[in-house]
Structure 1
Amino acid sequence: MNSNIFDLTTWTTAIHDWLTEFIPEWSAILLESIVVALIIITLYAVFAIALIYMERKVCAFFQCRIGPNRVGKWGLLQVFGDVFKMLTKEIIRMRKSDRFLHDLAPYLVVTASMLTFACLPWNKGGQVLDFNVGVFFFIAVSGIGVVGILMAGLGSNSKYPMIGSIRAGAQLISYEISIGITMLTMVALSGTMQISEIVQQQADQGWNIVRGHIPALIAFLIFLIAGNAECNRGPFDLPEGESELTAGYHTEYSGMHFGYYYLAEYLNLFICAAMASTIFLGGWAPLHIAGLDGFNEVMNYIPGVVWFVGKTFFILVLLLWERWTFPRLRIDHILSLEWKYLMPISLLNLLLMALVVTLGLGINV
């Protein structure tokens, strides 16, 4: 079974070698970096637009209505109209706000989101940032967004943004613990923190959610719950509670400054789903079933990026299902859920996974 027929490493190496024939190597690296940055920004915008439209339709389905259907076929151009409106709106700054913090905060949130976006393994050989401590780097840079949210509340010099940012800080810092422990659980199963190696191992031995037994399934469920909380998504959207705080920490933002927060929220949702598909469902690795060589060979002919995006959108549906099913929680309930339930269960689950690995109980598919 050959799952490497769509390996992009050969292409990227060939392009680099071709460029170095005409220009110095440092110039080739600089040019490649610029092209990769443009690709990341383009994908960032495309997936944000797709997710906004997807959520509106899923929300409409759960509420027994149609959703956007006026602008363009099936309402496909509605999001583009909203983006154009956002781009043309005036950026208003409050008179008594801290202008430096107020202006810097949205850029910090988007930067953190783009750094984590660059960690995603789209295909074999198709990952921008791939360190031997990739999981640690992913968790570290994702925490930068919390600083941007706290700066938004402090810099706005307004009570609603301040309360929203305090809530967000308490919530995100709390649920990062469960996110980190669940990812560490899968690192214990894989034996490596390099994201590309985690996916390659699943391509060879089977998806982690299958070969990791019950601990992997428990970690997957906790990741979905904590991931929604990390993205400030319902039922964990207290930092933006419209009925209480108008719009929470971005109440005083307008124009594209507000748009950056809006953009980052949806891309963080995509990143959460993408990382779940990477460490639990094999990422770009195709579906293989032991004993069905013909079926496995057919699966190998589906490009890895198709597998990755397909799995990610499957998890996105689960996350949207979670949001539009459960009512908004109180802030004390949110923190109790993490500190009294999810974190202790995550720690016990990590211990259980360590036993599974030590006793050699993993399943090879």
Structure 2
Amino acid sequence: MSAMTFLGPVVLLLLVLGFVTIAILFERKVLGWMQGRVGPVQVGPWGLLQTVADVLKLLLKEDIIPGKADRILFKIAPVIAFVPAFAVLAVIPYTDRIVFADIGVGLLYFIAISSITTIGILVGGWSSNNKYALLGAMRSAAQMISYEIPLVMSVVGVIMAAGSLNLTEIVKAQESLWFILPQLIGFVVFFVASLAELNRTPFDLPEAESELVAGYHVEYTGFRFAFFMLAEYVYVFAMAGLTTVLYLGGWNPLFGWTFLPPIVWFAAKFLLIVFILFWIRATLPRIRLDQLMQLGWKVLLPLALVNIFLSALFKEVSGIGNFF
């Protein structure tokens, strides 16, 4: 066994934990800037240690388990929610050399494994023996069903264009043209559906505190609650990385500018997607449940079908995998 087999997961975990720490602070700063608020300024210089203080606070809080909860399921639910979020990161190619698991069906693996997190949310809500938590968990299940289908169908055009499910091959297929142009419809559907999969504004209905008292994790405290929040931000990392790979050319440079290393190009595109996710949270209100369902089934699903049809048509007419 190579050293990479053992060191790879450790390096990836440290990278993700560092990203989560910085991303939470960055999101608060961005929200404060966009909404005319101060943001974190008290803990450390310019509030830079605010996230560290929050983590310490969560770790020191009392671990409370409701008396009538299913104790075993209650304890393992946060783990079920977090582990798939971390597992999908292994197949994302950051450059042609930096990829922890370059498997032939990387895209299929990503989509399949990421869906397991919803089971953790369902188990957490049900095992709490709290009606508000159960409602939040059921909302998450309904949301997953509504948006997993258009999300999967939106990437069919990319698969047809690249001729592969391997994420590294998909990036290499974009050396001359990024797929965001020929697959613009698919990109829009994918991005909106990924917001719903991340349970982020305006699709943060499973944890709608205004009507559900914090939703599926209302009974969780301390580090178990932190696991649910950690899973959300790890998925921000994962979805931003997958969007970069599928539609923004991965590590491929813009306009052939090769004076920067591939990892820099990947990081720049990745951070742009992360910033847009935070930007959306600062500007859009939460939508209603019926609006969420209508958008998923009546708008995104038909658009995904149209994108598949157009992708197949242009591939047949042109003999290549994209519109040009």
Same fold (TM over 0.5): yes
Which residue is equivalent to 2:108?
136
Q: Secondary structure at the match of 1:324?
A: helix
Which residue is equivalent to 1:41?
13
Which residue is equivalent to 1:308?
266
Q: Secondary structure at the match of 2:200?
A: coil
In structure 2, C-alpha distance between the alignment counterparts of 1:185 and 1:89, rounded to whole Å = 47
Identity level (%) = 40
Match of 2:294 among 336, 360, 363: 336
**TM-score computed with the length of structure 1 as normaliser:** 0.85
Q: Secondary structure at the match of 1:64?
A: coil
Q: 1:67 offset after TM fit, Å?
A: 0.8
Which residue is equivalent to 1:238?
205
**Stretch of structure 1 that moved more, 123-132 or 249-258:** 123-132
In structure 1, C-alpha distance between the alignment counterparts of 2:207 and 2:292, rounded to whole Å = 14
- Asked if the contact 1:224–1:319 (Cα under 8 Å) also holds between the matched residues in 2, the reply is no
- Asked if the contact 2:16–2:237 (Cα under 8 Å) also holds between the matched residues in 1, the reply is no
Match of 2:128 among 143, 149, 156: 156
Which residue is equivalent to 1:218?
185
2:207 aligned with 1:253, yes or no? no
In structure 1, C-alpha distance between the alignment counterparts of 2:218 and 2:167, rounded to whole Å = 37
Which residue is equivalent to 2:158?
186
In structure 2, C-alpha distance between the alignment counterparts of 1:75 and 1:89, rounded to whole Å = 22
Q: Which amino acid aligns with 1:162?
A: L
| Structure 1: stretches of 5+ with no match in the other structure | 1-27, 289-295
In structure 2, C-alpha distance between the alignment counterparts of 1:264 and 1:174, rounded to whole Å = 21
- Asked if the contact 1:150–1:169 (Cα under 8 Å) also holds between the matched residues in 2, the reply is yes
Which residue is equivalent to 2:74?
102
Q: 1:286 offset after TM fit, Å?
A: 1.3
Residue pairs, 1:1-365, within 5 angstroms: 28-29=1-2, 31-203=3-175, 205-210=176-181, 212=182, 216-288=183-255, 296=256, 299-360=257-318, 362=322
In structure 2, C-alpha distance between the alignment counterparts of 1:320 and 1:352, rounded to whole Å = 32
Q: Secondary structure at the match of 2:155?
A: helix
Q: Which amino acid aligns with 2:177?
A: G
In structure 1, C-alpha distance between the alignment counterparts of 2:148 and 2:296, rounded to whole Å = 10
Q: 1:74 offset after TM fit, Å?
A: 2.0
Q: Which amino acid aligns with 2:130?
A: S
Q: Which runs of 4+ in 1 moved over 6 A?
A: none
In structure 2, C-alpha distance between the alignment counterparts of 1:322 and 1:178, rounded to whole Å = 20
Q: Secondary structure at the match of 1:131?
A: coil
Which residue is equivalent to 1:10?
none
Q: Which amino acid aligns with 1:232?
A: N
Count of residues in correspondence between the two structures: 322
Q: Say which one has the larger Rg.
A: 1
- Asked if the contact 1:110–1:260 (Cα under 8 Å) also holds between the matched residues in 2, the reply is yes
Q: 1:363 offset after TM fit, Å?
A: 6.3
- For 1:155-180, what per-residue CA distance to the aligned partner results, in whole angstroms no more than 9, with x for missing partners? 11111110000000110122111111
| Structure 2: stretches of 5+ with no match in the other structure | none
- Asked if the contact 1:135–1:183 (Cα under 8 Å) also holds between the matched residues in 2, the reply is no
In structure 2, C-alpha distance between the alignment counterparts of 1:61 and 1:219, rounded to whole Å = 31
In structure 1, C-alpha distance between the alignment counterparts of 2:73 and 2:203, rounded to whole Å = 26
Q: Which amino acid aligns with 1:143?
A: S
- For 1:239-286, what per-residue CA distance to the aligned partner results, in whole angstroms no more than 9, with x for missing partners? 100111111111111111100111111111221111111100011111
In structure 2, C-alpha distance between the alignment counterparts of 1:176 and 1:363, rounded to whole Å = 25
Q: 1:136 offset after TM fit, Å?
A: 0.8
- For 1:193-231, what per-residue CA distance to the aligned partner results, in whole angstroms no more than 9, with x for missing partners? 10011112213x221123x2xxx1111111221111100
Q: 1:318 offset after TM fit, Å?
A: 1.7
- For 1:122-171, what per-residue CA distance to the aligned partner results, in whole angstroms no more than 9, with x for missing partners? 11121112211111111100111011111111111111110000000110
Q: Secondary structure at the match of 2:173?
A: helix
